[in-house]
Every structure is written in structure tokens, then in C-alpha cells.
Amino acid sequence: MKVGCWFTNWAQHRSDLAAKFLPEDIDVNLCTHIYYAFAKVDRGTNGEFTVKPYEGNDFELYSRVIGLKHYKPTLKVLLAVGGWTHGTAAFNEMSATAVTRGQFLRNTIAYLRLHGFDGLDYDWEYPGVAWRGSGPETKQQFSDLVKETRLTFEKDATDTGKERLLATASVGVSSYIVEAGYDIPTMNTYLDWTNLMSYDLHGSWEAFLGHHTALYARSDEDSTQAQINVVHSNEKDTEFQSSVNRTCV
């Protein structure tokens, strides 16, 4: 069973000592995989797309997170690229053509290998969703990116003799986000697995109280609210559900 743990690089800045979280605070016995959040899609000095760090001390934190393998050698550490505040513009542009996708993948492989990561997680929020700034064409662009990522990672493993890098994606669970942005058969074919983002289902933007990771609907919820929970989302996302060995909640 896969158990993914997320380390967020901004947790180091929390002023409350009880809330501040550092790599050494991770209990590796709870995790099979750690996702380091986040890196960003950007252009390098040569004008080509690549991944870049957010924090000034990310390189140091990379080493400290990956160093946890000392306590659990089977642990895998993936670099997550994107996130909510990242936006969609760089993803839209990077994924637009085979040339720009190829640049990104070539440079990203070098970055992952340099720092000792075991794979890459796409956290594009969200392809195909207009109010997030992604047009309908980006659904196909994301599918092309996913496919080319896997094929490029496989070629890298063959060429170098190293273990293949893992390719995953963290995806929204609302049915309209799934329909707008994800070609699920392609994702199931080329990703090692998909992470369903079953959190932030309720929050401060609403005028009522709801659990942000609700598993089931409450008995007093109306028909619309009753759809905002993990079980309903997974029932709707039948194609993700049909590939349960490739889906993490």
C-alpha cells in the first residue's frame, strides 16, 4: 500500500513553534513516498522551460528530506511542481507544443537527477478550467505532457541504467474539473498513479461550516452540498475508480 506524505516548504516559516514543520519532523515510518511541495515551472537563463525552486533554501531542504532515506531506505521522494498559488500560465505555455514539452522534460530530468529525487508529481490546478486561466485546449496538452513524461522517463532509464523516475499527478475531484481537464484513460496508462486531492472541499469562502475532507455527506445537507465529499467524488469519477491500484486518496 502506498502512503504519501507531503512536505510543504513554507511550513518552515510558521512563527508558532508548535506549527513550524521541518524535514526532521517527518515520521518516515508513516510514509512510503514523500512529496516535496513545491517547485515552479519557469524559463531558465537559456529561455527553455525547466523547474525552479521557490524558497532560497530549497536545495538545503531537498537534501534534508531525501536524507530521511537513511532511516528508511525504501522511501521514495518526489518533487511536486505547481500548486494553487503557482497558477496556470506557465503550465499552459510549457505544455503548448512538443518542443516546449521536450525542453521542460529534458531540463527537469537533469534537475531531478542532480538533487536525488525519485520522480515528479504534476500539481497543475487545473487544466481545462477557464476560471483558473486554462483554456479547453489544455486538456489535450496535459494528456500529451503526461504521455511524453512517461516515455521520456523510460528513455532516460534505458540510456543511463538508473531506476526510472516516477511520474504522478495530483488532481481535483470535482466532477466538472475532471471532465474539463483530464483524459483519464491516458493518465491511467502513463502515470504510475494519480493522487485525488480530497481536501479543501469546504473552507472560508463559504457561509456555512463543513469538514474540509468530508468522507460522507451529512444528513442535513441539501442535494448540492451532499455532493461535496470524498465518497461522492470517487463514485462520480468512475474511470479513476476503475483503476484503483493507480489511485491514491
For residue 10, the domain's CATH number is 3.20.20.80
- pLDDT by residue, tens only, the chain of 249 residues: 899 999 999 999 998 887 899 999 999 999 999 999 999 999 989 999 999 999 999 999 999 999 999 999 999 999 999 999 999 999 999 999 999 999 999 999 999 999 999 999 999 999 999 999 999 999 999 999 999 999 999 999 999 999 999 999 999 888 788 899 999 999 999 999 999 887 666 677 777 777 667 777 777 777 777 666 766 666 655 555 545 556 776
pLDDT at 168: 98
Grid cell 523510460 is found at: 154
pLDDT at 18: 76
How many independent structural domains does the chain possess? 1
Rounded to whole angstroms, what are the CA distances from 246 to 132, 163, 230? Answer: 26, 19, 17
Burial class, 218, CB count within 10 angstroms (exposed 0-12 / middle 13-18 / buried 19+): exposed
pLDDT at 74: 98
pLDDT at 207: 75
Residue 125 appears among annotated catalytic residues: yes
**Alpha-carbon span 123 to 170, nearest angstrom:** 5
Domain that holds residue 63: 4-248
97 residue type, one letter: T
3-state SS, residue 8: strand
Q: Where are the beta strands (DSSP E) in the chain?
A: 4-8, 33-43, 49-53, 76-82, 119-123, 166-171, 193-196, 247-248
pLDDT at 176: 83
Give 39's strand partners.
53, 81
Write the CB contacts of 142 (distance below 8 Å, at least 6 apart in sequence): 91, 95, 122, 124, 127, 128, 181, 182, 183
pLDDT at 235: 60
pLDDT at 170: 97
Give pairs for 104-108: CB < 8 Å, separation 24+: 104/41, 104/48, 104/49, 104/50, 104/51, 105/148, 105/149, 105/152, 106/152, 107/44, 107/48, 107/49, 107/50, 107/51, 108/50, 108/51, 108/81
pLDDT at 228: 67
Pick from 114, 130, 131, 134: nearest CA to 122: 134
| Residue tagged active-site, from 93, 125, 163, 239 | 125
pLDDT at 22: 97
Does the pTM surpass 0.85? The reply is yes
